Structure 1
């Protein structure tokens, strides 16, 4: 009797399991169809790694910098950086390291022989609000594009020598109220756009020596009303016009040594009433117009050495009554008369006066 009861109970449990399993399976299928599922596995949160410190000197970086002060607990004011990589695009993560030193006042970037830089890193410079002095050298930067320096308002000095620059575009230098000096020497500049240099009220020195300039646009310097020194030595400039020098009423030094000038016409320099030094040596000047130097009442030094002058017009020096240093060496002068030097006679007897006539 008991045995029969246990058998019946076991059979009932077996039937219940068989019936229940399909029901649970059907409920799971319904849940899937309704979009119900097991709790989702959340993606692992990615925590960004901290920025590389610009001043760490990490040899794994594409540019290595030495900073001053050299203290990891103090923001640097000066950084000298060297680029060792040929692959350093504008958006390279290495540039982000500059965000760790946002108070830099002086920055020098030197491209090593094994490295390359083909652009001005404008995105980086834009973040350096306190930058006053910038030097980039030995890059291969064919163009200076508009607003290349991000309207940095604290800039005082920009040096970009030996970067193979060919074209300086409109507004390449613009809106830098305290910028005092631009050095672009030893590049390959063919053209300086007439609006390349605008809104630079404090600019005093502009160096374009050793480039490939063959002509200058009229009014190209008209916004540089505070310019004191303009260097154009060793270019290929063959023609000068009065309009080129408009706006340069405060210029004191003009260097045009080693260009391709053959003739200086009337009143070319008449806009330069503050000029004290004019270098025209090592050109191919064959003729000076009688009024070539009119308006240069404050000129102290005139260098015409190593040209092709055969004669001097009567009264040629009437426009430069203050000259104390006159160099006519290495020309082809056939005759020189007393009348040529009469306007300068009072100056030339001064003990500090110098006349070169070899």
Structure 2
């Protein structure tokens, strides 16, 4: 059995490389400096490979993103700029960046523990409410730092929470492709994100703020504790309609063994008015994250079904995307 270490990680691990500012190397083939190895991830925004730096032997990850259009280039340039500001142990770190042949290559810290949700559903993995607080505290620490830099992540979801290793309890927040700089004095509106985790103000195209990320943190916590998604409908349209109503409950039997403190933590995040939600700093002071004692193993039946369903949806979307690409090539 792999039982999550229910003690908070003490201190910080030494990063595999020192923090540094990155300048995009244009017109340079990354293969001059790095040796590509196996593919380790694929999504609608790019493909990720394990790679080795030739000069040092350092193992890293190479993420390739197409930049056919000017807007694509602006988007990846913004992502590099934002990642250079986000140097923190809870956030994936950027090591190098290249632009060549209508593609951008991000060289990133290698994180090999896998997605948090996929790891905890393993039959040999014992998940408890206390262990969930360890993960949620680290997520809030990462979000607090992001917000301290006046940046919004805007795509917090289970796929973007990785485990640093396959056996430890440290996590990393990844993927800043949708992140935006945020000036609280100016109105910012966006109309993108993942329907299941996006906040009501995004669906309604209203002004967003730091609370927009905290809504997503609340949804992640709800799903991790119960294996249920509070707003998911049969279609994206139905899901977004549920989000705008912002009504949910703890009536399912999955919540019978969940503490009132955990439910209170979620209640203070899944609030329709984004300005009324807990901030990341307030969340870190919440009683549940500070004193949770529940060590009874949680049922993972619903969580397994949830993860399997998400895997199937992602696989289907990848197949459809590849078919569209093939049609364009033809």
TM-score (norm 2): 0.26
TM-score (norm 1): 0.24
Report the structure number with the largest CA radius of gyration. 1
Greater share of residues in helix: 2
